Amino acid sequence: MNARFVPTNRTTLRRLASRASYERKTIYEILDEAFICHVGFIDSGHPVVVPTAYGRQDDILFVHGSVASRLLRNLANRTPVCVTVTLLDGLVLARSAFHHSMNYRSVVVFGTASLVEDRNEKLDALRIISEHILPGRWADVRKPNNAELQQTSVVKIPLIEASAKIRTGPPVDEKADYDLPVWAGVVPLSTVSWPPVADPRMHSYLQTPTYAQPDRFRR
């Protein structure tokens, strides 16, 4: 496996190219940290973007949903797709309105999805998606039965064309603006969790699993 994705005409960053990364490790770390991706595709001649959960194993992204959903119907037909993920790390407050920005890490993937039809492969893909969202949960829950599997589609997208774009650091102002009496800096942001709230119909003797505790749940 190459350490870098080969930049293509679609993945090469042309504006602010210094923020680009084609390193596989960097791109996979961003994909593994986020919860939601946005999948863009053409449906009946119109552009559509759908947010959805996903999972990654090695060089494959897995997406699942109802067999009746527009997203999965299109992806199962080998429709070309664009998948994006963004992590927002901070609001960048500059001295001028023009230079306000955000610190972020984002990934763009281009590819073609294909349907996962083998039952065991589908179950494994669903496990990968579940473990991506909350590691350890799959071992505790009832697994999908045949009826549920028939109602669920899973597609896989090979990670062949991908790039990341990353901004870090303080604001970059015009030289003349640094003397302005305006506060400037970064407001850091992160995803955090609160103490779990138990289902009121849950058996009282059941304890909150360690993987759901706030101190174990950081992204």
- Examine residue 149 and state whether it is found in any structural domain, yes or no: yes
CA nearest to 168, candidates 34, 21, 35: 21
Rounded Cα–Cα distance for residues 196 and 150 (Å): 31
pLDDT in tens, 179-203: 999 999 999 999 888 999 999 999 9
Amino acid 120: pLDDT: 96
130 pLDDT band (50/70/90 cuts)? very high
- Examine residue 85 and state whether it is found in any structural domain, yes or no: yes
- Examine residue 202 and state whether it is found in any structural domain, yes or no: no
pLDDT in tens, 17-34: 899 999 999 999 999 999
- Examine residue 8 and state whether it is found in any structural domain, yes or no: no
- Examine residue 205 and state whether it is found in any structural domain, yes or no: no
DSSP 67-127: TTSHHHHHHHTT-EEEEEEEEEEEEEE-SSGGG-EEEEEEEEEEEE-EE--SHHHHHHHHH
Q: What amino acid is encoded at 22 in this protein? A: Y
Residue 23 is given by DSSP the state: B
Amino acid 28: pLDDT: 98
Please state, in angstroms and as integers, the Cα–Cα distance from residue 214 to each residue in 49, 86, 87, 204, 210, following that order. Answer: 31, 22, 19, 20, 9
Rounded Cα–Cα distance for residues 152 and 66 (Å): 5
- Name the residue with tokens 């102002």: 173
Is residue 150 over pLDDT 90? yes
What is the count of structural domains for the chain? 1
- Examine residue 49 and state whether it is found in any structural domain, yes or no: yes
Residue 193 is given by DSSP the state: -
Structural domain span for residue 110? 17-174+182-190
Amino acid 216: pLDDT: 65
- Examine residue 78 and state whether it is found in any structural domain, yes or no: yes
Give the mean pLDDT of 48-66. 96
CATH of residue 104: 2.30.110.10
- Examine residue 126 and state whether it is found in any structural domain, yes or no: yes
Q: What are 51's two structure tokens?
A: 């947010």
Rg of the chain over Cα atoms, rounded to whole angstroms, equals 21
* Consecutive H or E run containing 74: helix 70-76
pTM: 0.92
Cβ atoms < 10 Å from Cβ of 109: 24
